[in-house]
Amino acid sequence: MSPKSGGLGRGLASLIPTGTATMAAPTEIPLDRIRANPYQPRKSIGDAALQELASSIAEHGVLQPILVTETIDGYELIAGERRLRAARLAGLERIPAVVRQLAGREQLEVALVENIQRADLNPLEEAEAYRQLVDAFGMSQDDVARRVGRARSTVANTLRLLDLAPSVQAAVRDGSVTEGHARAIASLEGPAQQEALLSAVVHRGLSVRQTEELARRLKTAALEQQAGNPTESAAPAPDPASDPETERIETELRVALGTKVSLTRARTGGRIVIEYYDDADLARLYEKIVGGVE
């Protein structure tokens, strides 16, 4: 008896059985009879990578068949989007394909698992596919995890990326930040803090661990500010919700300094309070603020 494969292998095997009784042999299908998969999770394919694959196909042909389902007027793609596009780009008229009848949910599952195995999806595309399985097909997160061979916690964390501010989602899509960065940013409440932390990650080149630490500091500062400081019984600070500009400046200062910062405006001028947690934190802030001053 052969050993069991890894998690994704089990997920794919459950969707595409490999026995000869359930899987037909590949056949050549005209490209003009194949239409796109409406459940395709992958939204973008790099032009350079696609051209490279097309050149390989023009030289050696399509080495691995695509997977399609038969329809009334032709075929619908299930898996193999890159190969199909590259074959058309290479000028082929026919492509090897395995024909299998699958329902809509199964089409999405197969396309999703294949792309995950090939690491072809960016984290947002993967999250959107999971969301479609949950919303359109009524699957629980446990169901999704089992079908695609992921841990439930992985599915849950990936789905959280869909709650990120739009600018952060765009950065994930274009590769400006990694999924690890995005998960750290997602721990912050509200788009203002998320966007400020994103700016710090991109412009300061923060690692995932540094981003997690800065996010932790920002959450601590926000909680302390919400609780209020009983030692400051003077005139109350203005409500940040009624002063978006003050909130924006405070958020950017917190991100830049990595600690709690309070900005209080007066009729003329105002004050900025920068807090530190211990002597080491004070030394860090000192170096950050005056370290480059000559």
174 and 96 both lie in a single domain: no
With respect to residue 159, please indicate whether it lies within any of the assigned structural domains. no
* Single-letter amino acid code for the residue at 237: A
pLDDT tens digit at each of 294 positions of the chain: 444 444 444 444 444 444 333 456 788 889 889 888 776 666 666 677 778 888 888 888 888 888 888 888 888 888 788 888 888 888 888 888 888 877 666 766 666 666 565 556 788 888 888 887 788 777 888 888 887 778 888 888 889 899 899 999 999 888 889 989 999 999 888 888 888 888 888 887 888 888 888 888 878 776 766 666 544 434 444 444 457 777 778 777 877 777 777 788 777 778 888 877 677 777 777 777 776 554
168 and 281 both lie in a single domain: yes
Here the CATH number for the domain that contains residue 104 is 3.90.1530.30
109 and 212 both lie in a single domain: no
CB-based contact 247:241 (threshold 8 Å): yes
Predicted pLDDT at 48: 78
115 and 190 both lie in a single domain: no
Residue 148 vs residues 3, 6, 12, 144, 180: alpha-carbon distances, Å: 19, 11, 7, 6, 20
- Please give, one letter per residue, the 3-state secondary structure of the chain: CCCCCCHHHHHHHHHCCCCCCCCCCCEEEEHHHEECCCCCCCCCCCHHHHHHHHHHHHHHCCCCCEEEEEECCEEEEEECHHHHHHHHHCCCCEEEEEECCCCHHHHHHHHHHHHHHCCCCCHHHHHHHHHHHHHHHCCCHHHHHHHHCCCHHHHHHHHHHHHCCHHHHHHHHCCCCCHHHHHHHHCCCCHHHHHHHHHHHHHHCCCHHHHHHHHHHHHHHHHHHHHCCCCCCCCCCCCHHHCHHHHHHHHHHHHHHCCCEEEEECCCCEEEEECCCCHHHHHHHHHHHHCCCC
User: How do 74-79 and 34-35 pair as beta strands?
Assistant: parallel
* Single-letter amino acid code for the residue at 221: A
Q: Which residues pair with 261 in a beta bridge?
A: 274
With respect to residue 129, please indicate whether it lies within any of the assigned structural domains. no
Cα distance between residue 199 and residue 224, in whole Å:
23
Structural domain for 199, as ranges? 164-228+236-290
Last residue in a domain, options 66, 91, 120: 120
79 and 192 both lie in a single domain: no
Q: Which class for 227: exposed (0-12), middle (13-18), buried (19 or more C-beta within 10 A)?
A: exposed
85 and 174 both lie in a single domain: no
With respect to residue 65, please indicate whether it lies within any of the assigned structural domains. yes
Q: Which class for 278: exposed (0-12), middle (13-18), buried (19 or more C-beta within 10 A)?
A: exposed
Last residue in a domain, options 120, 150, 179: 120
Predicted pLDDT at 112: 66
With respect to residue 102, please indicate whether it lies within any of the assigned structural domains. yes
Cα distance between residue 146 and residue 140, in whole Å:
10
- Structural domains counted in the chain: 2
Catalytic residue set: 81
Cα distance between residue 67 and residue 77, in whole Å:
6
Predicted pLDDT at 262: 77
184 and 285 both lie in a single domain: yes
With respect to residue 137, please indicate whether it lies within any of the assigned structural domains. no
76 and 179 both lie in a single domain: no
114 and 13 both lie in a single domain: yes
171 and 281 both lie in a single domain: yes
Last residue in a domain, options 100, 120, 140: 120
168 and 276 both lie in a single domain: yes
74 and 170 both lie in a single domain: no
With respect to residue 280, please indicate whether it lies within any of the assigned structural domains. yes
Cβ neighbours around 55 below 10 Å, total: 13
With respect to residue 246, please indicate whether it lies within any of the assigned structural domains. yes
Predicted pLDDT at 45: 67
With respect to residue 248, please indicate whether it lies within any of the assigned structural domains. yes
